[in-house]
Amino acid sequence: MYSELNINPIKRNTGDCVIRAIGTVTDSEWDDVYLDLLTKGFKEKSMPSLNEVWGSYLHDIGYTRHIIPDTCPDCYTVDQFTKDHPRGRYILGTGTHVIAVIDGNYYDTWDSGEEIPIFYWQKEN
């Protein structure tokens, strides 16, 4: 189920989906995630919004990436993922967008339920 959420302190919606999704799933402040990703990007000499930078950041804090099987590449949506994962916290990546999922609900500034996820991150217990 979709829930509108924008943790950006001034409610901007300007390409910060990575920060919003990570902050939402990790219960972190937008500013803290932004600074952490900037630092990670600086160390890696790359942009913090690139999949490899924020993915490396998630890996460093205990998350594991899982690839979504390509059995139905055009029909498995964010909405379907939430139905298949009614418990837990996930960060979904579509390749161009990042979405927070918590206990079967997806949180975004717009209804991204029809987007096609290709991987997700989950913290292992």
Would you write out the chain's pLDDT as a tens digit for each of its 125 residues? 999 999 999 999 889 999 999 999 999 999 999 999 999 999 999 999 999 999 999 999 999 999 998 887 678 999 999 999 999 999 999 989 999 999 999 999 999 999 999 999 999 77
Q: What are phi and psi of 82, to 5 degrees?
A: -65, -35
Which residues form the domain of 39? 2-123
User: Do residues 20 and 30 lie in contact, with contact meaning Cβ atoms separated by under 8 Å?
Assistant: yes
- What pLDDT does residue 73 have? 67
- What pLDDT does residue 72 have? 78
Its pTM stands at: 0.94
Q: Which two tokens stand for residue 121?
A: 């991150």
Burial group, residue 7, by CB count within 10 angstroms (0-12, 13-18, 19+): buried
Q: How many domains does the chain have?
A: 1
